[in-house]
Chain A
Amino acid sequence: MARSAPAAALCLALWGCGGAPEGEPIAVRQVFGGLGDVPGRFGYPRALDVSAAAAGAGRSSGLVWVVDKTGRVQGLNPADGRCEVLWRMPEIDIGKPVGITIGPGPDEHGDWCDELVWIPDTHYFRVMVYRPPASDRSDPDHAPTLVRSFGSYGTGPGQFRYTTDVAVLYAPDGRSIERIYVSEYGGNDRVSVFDPSYQFLFSFGRFGAGRADTPGTREVEFDRPQAISIENVEGRRELVVVDSHNHRVGRFTLDGELIAWYGSRDEPGDALGRFRYPQGIASMGDGTVLIAEYGNNRVQHLDLATGRGLAAWGRPGRGPGELAAPWAVGILGRTAYVLDTGNSRLLAFNAPRPRR
């Protein structure tokens, strides 16, 4: 202890001088993927979500879903990283999806099913909704069912430029959908809200550096809202928007009124509670979230009620536990998964203990 005191003092002194504190590498439990175009490997993966066990889809364990820059959607077994579900997006010539959201919902016949996959098909200005295949990957009929696709190019109501993420608001019983939120960028940076039948309700936000926001209203500016999520903060359901290029994370009411911003365009940073290009969000379910920071090469544990950064893991690099431009993060059970995009791999580590 006595020996570590001067080291701690030195760290504090460096911190005070403005030197970037280099984080610790993540204590990684497992590493999946690696560069390649065979099943189970990725080429610059950019989107991640997790799904719990889906009895309806015939799976006893959950899956970690990854979309990469080859336009492939893969569902990986969280135990060994084996690819169990795989399909390629129908069109990938002009760009690949940068988001994925998994959750229950009505299938193509309107029947409730355990697992739907919403993919914001970024460069085709739309959102694709799939029911993943239940069959084994070796089955020649292994292919998803397209439940529906919505959106078209434009800046009008219900139209999109580049879609980034989808958040689904469920009824308290979890057996029906109340609303669907879709975020987008490309000069038309906003969040559009749809009813369960995908009818446009309203949208909020516009492109900007976020210097003219009015709390309590929908007058907000976004610069690439890359990820959105429904979170329970202090007993109330809210929409959390990760406004990547403005280096901040925002809380909104379900009707899009601004509650609070954490971080700002003018003060990006690597201290706890500050961000540099936050890109991904994962819900802890206790009013805290994990944020994947592209620019800080780390995962930050954020308390949504106070905006306090509780902890951060990771540092830039290509070695064990180091990250290169991470895009997304997810939590399945007690395990957190961070998409180490620049290294084309997926790192699994112990998620922090949820608060009571």
Chain B
Amino acid sequence: MTLASITLGPLQFDQPVWLALVVVCGALVVWIGRQSLSGMGTTARRAALGVRLAVILLIAAALARPSWRREAENVNVTVILDKSESVPKDLQRTAESWLREASRRYRAGDLISRIAVAREALVQNLPASPADEADTVQLAGTDGTNLAEAGRLGMATKPADTANRLLFVSDFNETIGDVRSFADTAAAAGVPIDVVILPYNHENEVIVDRVVVPSTARMGQNVNLRVLITSLKPTTGRLTLLINGEPVDLDADGPGLSRRVALDEGLNALWVPISLPRAGPQTFRAVFEPDDPAADSIKENNESLAVTFVQSEGRVLIIAPDTSEAEPIDRALTESRIACEVITPAQAPQSLIELQAWDAVIMVNTPSDQIAMRLQEELKAYVHDLGGGLMMVGGPDSFGAGGWLGSPLADALPIRLDPPQKRQMPRGALVLVMHSCEMPQGNYWAKQTGLAAINNLSRLDLIGVVEYNFSRDATWVHPITEVGNRTAVTRAMNSLTFGDAPSFDTMLRLAYNGLVAADAGAKHMIVMSDGDPSFTDFNLLNQCRAAKISISTVLVYPHERSATGPSGQQMKMIADRTGGKFYPIVDQGQFAQLPSIFVKEAQIVKRSLIWEGPPFSPTMVNAVAEPVRGLGGSVPPIQGYVVAADRDGLSVVTLRGKENDPILAHWQHGLGKVVAFTSDAGQRWARSWPSWGRYRAFWDGHVRWMMRPGGNADMRVVTEDLGDKTRVVVEALDASGERMNFVRFFPRVVRPDGTAEAVEMRQVGPGRYEGVFDSARAGAYVANLKYVAPPETPGGQPREGNLQVAVTRPFADEFRTLRDNAPLGRLIAERTGGRVIDLSQSPGQVDLWLRDGLKMPVAVRPIWLLVALLAVALFLVDVAVRRVRIDPQLIAAAVRRAMGRGVSRGSEQTGTLLEARRRARAGMAAGASTAEQREALRTAARADEQTAKAKFEVSASELAAAKENLALPTFDDAPRAAPAQRRQAEAAADAGEGGLARLRKAKERAREDMKDGDGKR
């Protein structure tokens, strides 16, 4: 049974129905009290009744779930400031200074919190006094506006003990999220949203809306490219077109490459005929530059992108630092009519779209430090997400010996690059000496580079990390131990404190001592520092040389910004004298090289992964596997390979070497296929292979197995722009034009930053499939749709293929806005009961902390326990009132006594007793209300007195005899030896003096008390 809670002043009762007990029980108590309390005096009876009623009231109150309410008085304003690119910069500054002024008008206790918003929202400061200075924050992406997220962040960080207002300062051109639905949330929570609309209107603007090209074309085809440009006013300018970053000559007659164009007001379509000589995806970029810069307000929207896939036969890209090493493979593939191109790592494709032009990539004896980290990531996505083929061919700079351990591609390979655990191999020991680097994000880079080196070591290698710590000087963050599963050393790297070491001496000495004691073949030290610490322990360098410990030094961002300054000279000297290398990184542009330097350096301890010896023929262990079918079950001898380990049955190993090491293996990785061959292409370790009769079959079999399957002309893919998202629609038709149903798609979309996302494709109609992916960021999105269709005839082969489509978003929607979106601002203010504040209003007149319409929050604290305890305490009082007589005069006397007034202690006690007795008698007389009662009492008292006399009264002679018999000494007795004195004492006793007299008096008092007692009864 519940009722709505009721509030009485600061008290709130959640189950007020229990309060009815007060009436019911109160009446009962009064009724019972009339009977049971009739023996008490009027005042006492009233007091007793009052106390009992109070007990009942408290018990009922405790049952009614009482709480104590405290209402807040302060207001917090959460200011959400739009920092996106759509708001002109000077307008942002005006708004900020307006806000600073306006936020001076607060009342004591008011709070302000600030959130900066663009693509993402960041808390600038949590609720704090407006008098405090605000922190500045840097937003990562300003090419978007997500007001709803900022609002949600504001709601999440608002304090609970104040009333709250939100203040949006924005142009309300949101590109992500839906601030309207957020406004409903805020309205439901009772938080009004005030808005300050930042007003602007671009009157001169040119936007390159779109570049329109067919999504697929055939090699050599001529296509008409269309550039759509919107201009608010007639203007002139130049149009430039780039294909894959290279400009196209649009001005055949003139000296320049760009074409002069005159734009009319509104939408302009410009046609450019283009021939497509190359296969693969082609990226077109159209850029418009107005002649008059004033004719255009936003520069970012002056270019647009489009991608066309140009189809060809299968093509293979071969990457080799020494192209002559790849020559036998190139020859074998060309003989097999597979088009291939051999390039060096420096010429490698720079983007995933360029990689898409190839159906497989072969890397021949390529060390990982020559392939940029980004390209490694993209190669992984190319295989896993876009279904491309990859083959890694060995050599002394490949696999584990080439620094691929721990690289992004290591996971894609069908072998593990760590040596097998059971193998006994010489191992290397590496110590990283890490010093604070005074560069932007220095500590981040230092950790990244350290981890890159560590990931590159095999599990059996030894690793140690030394740094300077303010409380311990040079110290082992990670003592030299086996790399193992890298957990411990990775944790150690993440716990580096990057102390500012004053000197290299102690750190290098510590590292040296550790390395000398380490049980390892190659021993190496990498020192990373800004070169600031001093170095004087030159003897250490000689000791390192003697112990064959090399030291490589990485000078990072030295103060003198030069490799030849004092810091550089010192670090170079350390490297030179110990046989290490010196790497100067003097400007920010070189930071990205750091991980590859460390990876390369880690190789110094990694040479042990190569097996070289007398020629032997590897054993073919899986001759029926598809790529090696037709090789005749055996291969020519080899003289070396890079040691690696099995994937424990997850991949198919077809050739094995010494101690069962895998030499040739393949597997499917995501959508793509990968082959690893740990011996080389025929220059060094497999010299007899190029002349082997089945050499061509070997390469042909592997490359054809791993190449991406070709596209299907019967599938049509289109994309639709849904704002921040893109819909992919596939119309699937078979060779006879019939719609294909139940096709399974494995679509992956690679985003502009190289990361991939799976997309769900659902059949929505006969032969029609749809999927949606997020495409909010500017750049190109490549979707690869591998598919498996049911066989054409029952029992036949399933039909497989690949579809590709690209979507481009040349610039963020942020740059499409030409004026503020004031109606949206007004709408959310209206929905939440907020205000629309005009920026032209004087900030001094605006009260950001306006109380009107705000519901102040109430803090409610349950107090039932307290009330219940009070009831218990009062219940004791209730008992006491009925059982114990409280005498105000007596209390007053006690108080007087406590105050130390009047008589001495002894006489005071006596006096109090006498007084008490007198009052008791008077009270007894008063208590006996009628004359009959009083008479009856007196009679009873007399009767008792007679009885007491009979019991206690003795004659003086009887007493003396008794005393004689017992020979009890009295206090004033003299010793027994003096009979004369004793007689004298007896005489005194007879005369009524001494002990006997006192005894008699005591007896009388006892009688009096008994009378009192009767009176009370």
Contact = CB atoms under 8 A, between A and B. Distances in A.
A316 interface: yes
Interface string A145-170: 00000000000000001100000000
Contact of B471 (A245, A277, A324): A324
A38 B133 contact: yes
A200 B561 CA distance: 28
B1007 interface: no
Contacts of A187: 566, 569-570
Which label, helix, strand, loop or mixed, suits the secondary structure of the B interface?
Answer: loop
Given A162-B559, A342-B470, A295 B502 contact: yes
Contact of B502 (A162, A244, A342): A244
A316 B534 contact: no
B499 interface: yes
A224 B502 contact: yes
A277 B133 contact: no
A85 B887 CA distance: 74
Given A38-B135, A245-B534, A317-B471, A325 B500 contact: yes
A44 B438 CA distance: 12
Given A223-B536, A224-B502, A325-B470, A39 B133 contact: yes
B64 to A, nearest CB: 49
Contacts of B502: 224, 244-245, 277, 294-295
Interface string B491-512: 0000000011011000000000
Nearest to B557: A94
Interface string B560-576: 11000011011000000
A208 interface: yes
B724 interface: no
B161 interface: no
Q: Name the prevailing secondary structure of the A interface residues.
A: loop
A123 interface: yes
Contacts of A118: none
A208 B133 contact: no
A346 B135 CA distance: 21
B114 to A, nearest CB: 14
B566 A186 contact: yes
A36 B471 CA distance: 23
Contacts of B536: 208-209, 223, 245, 265
Interface in A172-222: 185-188, 208-209
B561 A316 contact: no
A316 B438 contact: no
A123 B559 contact: yes
A51 interface: no
B800 interface: no
B774 interface: no
Contacts of B133: 38-39
Nearest to A324: B470
B734 interface: no
B473 interface: yes
Interface in B513-532: none
Contact of B470 (A39, A123, A265, A297): A297
A95 interface: yes
Contacts of A297: 470-471
Contacts, number: 56
Nearest to A317: B471
Contacts of A123: 559-560
Interface string A28-45: 000000001011000010
A244 B500 CA distance: 14
Contacts of B561: 94
A24 B472 CA distance: 17
B167 to A, nearest CB: 22
A224 B470 contact: no
A39 B132 CA distance: 11
A38 B133 CA distance: 7
A38 B472 CA distance: 31
A161 B500 contact: no
B473 A295 contact: yes
A277 B473 CA distance: 10
B397 to A, nearest CB: 37
A294 B499 CA distance: 11
Contacts of B499: 325, 342
Contacts of B570: 187
Contact of B503 (A36, A161, A245): A245
Nearest to A224: B534
A172 B362 CA distance: 82
Interface in A220-271: 223-224, 244-245, 265
Of B536, B561, B570, the most chain A CB neighbours within 10 A belong to: B536
Contacts of A188: 566
Nearest to A161: B566
Given A38-B135, A223-B534, A316-B470, A94 B566 contact: no
B373 to A, nearest CB: 27
Contact of A94 (B472, B473, B560, B569): B560
A52 B308 CA distance: 75
A161 B561 CA distance: 14
Contacts of B500: 44, 325
A95 B470 contact: no
Interface in B421-448: 438
A316 to B, nearest CB: 3
Interface string A5-47: 0000000000000000000000000000000101100001000
A241 to B, nearest CB: 16
A36 B134 CA distance: 11
Interface in B466-486: 470-473
Given A224-B502, A294-B502, A185 B471 contact: no
Interface in B452-475: 470-473
Interface string B394-407: 00000000000000
A69 to B, nearest CB: 8
B968 to A, nearest CB: 57
B471 A95 contact: no
Given A245-B503, A294-B502, A295-B473, A95 B559 contact: yes
Contacts of A69: 438
Nearest to B533: A245
A189 to B, nearest CB: 8
Nearest to B536: A209
Contacts of A265: 536
B134 to A, nearest CB: 9
Contacts of A224: 502, 534
A326 to B, nearest CB: 9
Contacts of B569: 187
Given A161-B566, A224-B502, A295-B473, A185 B534 contact: yes
Nearest to A265: B536
Contacts of A342: 470, 499
B438 to A, nearest CB: 7
A185 B560 CA distance: 13
A208 B536 CA distance: 7
Nearest to A122: B559
A351 to B, nearest CB: 24
Contacts of B471: 297, 316-317, 324
10 contacts: A94-B559, A161-B566, A187-B570, A223-B503, A224-B502, A276-B473, A294-B502, A295-B473, A324-B471, A342-B499
Q: Would you list the 10 A-B pairs with minimal beta carbon distance, nearest first?
A: A316-B471, A325-B470, A95-B559, A123-B559, A187-B566, A186-B566, A209-B536, A324-B470, A245-B534, A38-B133
Given A244-B502, A277-B502, A316-B470, 16 more contacts: A38-B133, A44-B500, A185-B534, A208-B536, A223-B503, A223-B534, A223-B536, A224-B534, A245-B502, A245-B503, A265-B536, A276-B473, A294-B470, A324-B471, A325-B499, A342-B499
Interface of A: 36, 38-39, 44, 69, 94-95, 122-123, 161-162, 185-188, 208-209, 223-224, 244-245, 265, 276-277, 294-295, 297, 316-317, 324-325, 342
Interface of B: 133, 135, 438, 470-473, 499-500, 502-503, 534, 536, 559-561, 566-567, 569-570
